[in-house]
Amino acid sequence: MELTNTLTMKKEPFVPHEPGKVRMYTCGPTVYHFAHIGNLRSYIMEDVLEKFLRYEGFEVNRVMNITDVGHLSSDGDTGEDKMLKGAKREHKTVMEIAGFYTDAFFADCKKLNIRKPDTIVPATSRVDDFIHFISVLLEKGYAYQAGGNVYFDTSKLDDYYVFGNQSGEDLAVGVRESVDADENKRNKTDFVLWFTKSKFEDQELKWESPWGYGYPGWHIECSAISVRELGEYLDIHCGGIDNAFPHHTNEIAQSEAYLGHPWCGYWFHVLHLIDSQGKMSKSKGEFLTVSLLEEKGYDPLSYRLFCLQSHYRKPLVFSYDSLDNAAQAYQKLVSRIAGLSKEGEPDKEAAKAYQEKFSQALGSDLNTSLGLTVLYDVLKADLSDATKRFLVADFDTVLSLSLLEAAEKAGTAAGDDLSPEEKAEIETLIAKRAEARKNKDWAQADALRDELAARHVVMKDTPNGVEWHISK
């Protein structure tokens, strides 16, 4: 398999440190608000990566942190802790906010068929590890104390900017913010490992440490959790592209200084979901959530399909029109699968050529849209229905679109005795009726309702659109 590695910005063959085993780390959400569908784009694509590695026979161990302390409003160590901001907004404690939004995050993941990582670690549960990590960095001369805080000394590294794609603009932002904010820093790129009360008086959660009562910086969380859970050599580290700098750059600085050798071989970054205002972001206040899409009648899996239709290394522009197209494509896919007969045994020999094509597609830098094309090819191919169903189930272990389950529901709802063409005709009439009602064309809507009734179609409005079945 080949993956684009942010360290080189090239596609590289993926070779884990230990044959057959993959140690994978994912930056988890900062749980001060709901995840928006941009965050979830990153988690969907990371989920596909994990499942494809398993599909290829790797044993994957995946770890994710939950950022419930230390992530400040600006990535350059300034501003209020985001968790505290959330707590103030909702008149709750930080831990209440963390609990609520952690649960909400995993509920969204479930709706999008994103598998829970093998190990999930809230940052607040590992403060002792962070303190140990920082102590080692101080002992080795990679850190210093100033003005009550502990800083990482970036001048001790040969090469701080490790990523191939760091644009001047990215770097300027990080540097400018740090310089303005903190005159304790020896170098403009130094960053905080441990804050004490001397700097942020109103921080809610604080711990005793050798350097005073305080709290950890955000970057140290991921280094310490990853090294503790996955050992000295990490194979893949994931996150959205905004995490590359400064967060991941700082993680590499700390981890390699602590370990004394290179740490992680592959950096998998997902480009942003953007809308008409630019990058979707929690701090902007207005953002789209899975619940909002559901309220508008979309199946969350249509959004998953929308993400799979594009390459993870390209920005993805969100609009309701494109989501509508994905929702329609999902419906069509499901009704085609619902039309496949359940009789007979699959021809697993004949299936192999398609499994091979699917592997090649996803193995080529996780080309999910090409993977979907292979799925469409299967449905068109000269294969038995049983073989097609076998392949749909096989590919869906990676795509996770619940294709057979959705087809089963569509089949039950629509009546198994209808042909795919008849089902499609009924779907078209229902769509036309919805359109007529939207346009307040009541005469046309009534005429269509009568036509549907004549076909014994019974309809029910649900949050996911109209469900229907044939009355006996």
DSSP code for 260: S
Stretch that binds Zn ion, among 4-12, 26-34, 322-330, 395-403 (CB under 5 A): 26-34
Choose from ligand AMP, Zn ion, none: what does 335 bind? Cβ within 5-8 Å by kind.
none
Minimum distance from residue 279 beta carbon to ligand AMP (Å):
5
Question: Least distance from C-beta 135 to ligand AMP, angstroms?
Answer: 26
191-196 vs 149-152, strand pairing mode: antiparallel
Written as one string, the DSSP assignment of 341-403 is ---S---HHHHHHHHHHHHHHHHBT--HHHHHHHHHHHHHSS--HHHHHHHHHHHHHHH---H
Among 44, 162, 193, 222, binds Zn ion (CB under 5 A): 222
Q: Which does 375 bind (CB under 5 to 8 A by kind): ligand AMP, Zn ion, none?
A: none
For Zn ion, which stretch binds (CB under 5 A), given 217-225, 297-305, 412-420, 456-464? Answer: 217-225
CB 136 within 8 A of CB 259: no
62: closest CA among 71, 70, 53? 53
What is d(CA 433, CA 416) in angstroms, rounded to the nearest whole number? 23
CA dihedral 284, 286, 287, 293 (to 10 degrees): 180
Q: How far is the CB of 220 from ligand AMP (least distance, A)?
A: 15
CB of 432 to ligand AMP, least distance (A): 36
Q: Tell me whether residue 170 or residue 242 sits nearer to ligand AMP (CB atom).
A: 242
CA-to-CA distance for 422 and 408, rounded, in angstroms? Answer: 17
Strand partners for 62: 24
Specify burial of residue 202 (Cβ count, 10 A radius: 0-12, 13-18, 19+): exposed
| Binding region for ligand AMP (CB under 6 A) | 27, 29-30, 38-39, 41-42, 67, 239-240, 242-243, 270, 272-273, 279-282
Task: Report in angstroms how near the CB of residue 278 gets to ligand AMP at its nearest.
Answer: 9
Q: Which stretch binds Zn ion (CB under 5 A): 21-29, 44-52, 194-202, 444-452?
A: 21-29
Q: How far is the CB of 239 from Zn ion (least distance, A)?
A: 6
Is the dihedral angle over the CA atoms 290, 295, 300, 302 positive or is it negative?
A: negative
- For tokens 């906010």, the residue is 97
What is the contact mask toward Zn ion in residues 235 to 254, using x (rule: CB under 5 A)? Answer: --------------------
**Does 27 interact with Zn ion (rule: CB under 5 A)?**
yes
Instruction: Kindly state the smallest distance separating residue 46's Cβ from Zn ion, in Å.
Output: 12
- Binding residues for Zn ion, rule CB under 5 A, total 2
Q: Which is nearer to ligand AMP, 307 or 375 (by Cβ)?
A: 307
Question: Parallel, antiparallel, or unpaired for β 59-66 and 72-74?
Answer: unpaired
Residue 39 near which of Zn ion, ligand AMP, none (CB within 5-8 Å, type-dependent): ligand AMP
Nearer to ligand AMP, 222 or 448 (CB): 222
Q: CB-hemisphere CA count at 13 Å for 424?
A: 12
> Rule CB under 5 A: which residues touch Zn ion?
27, 222
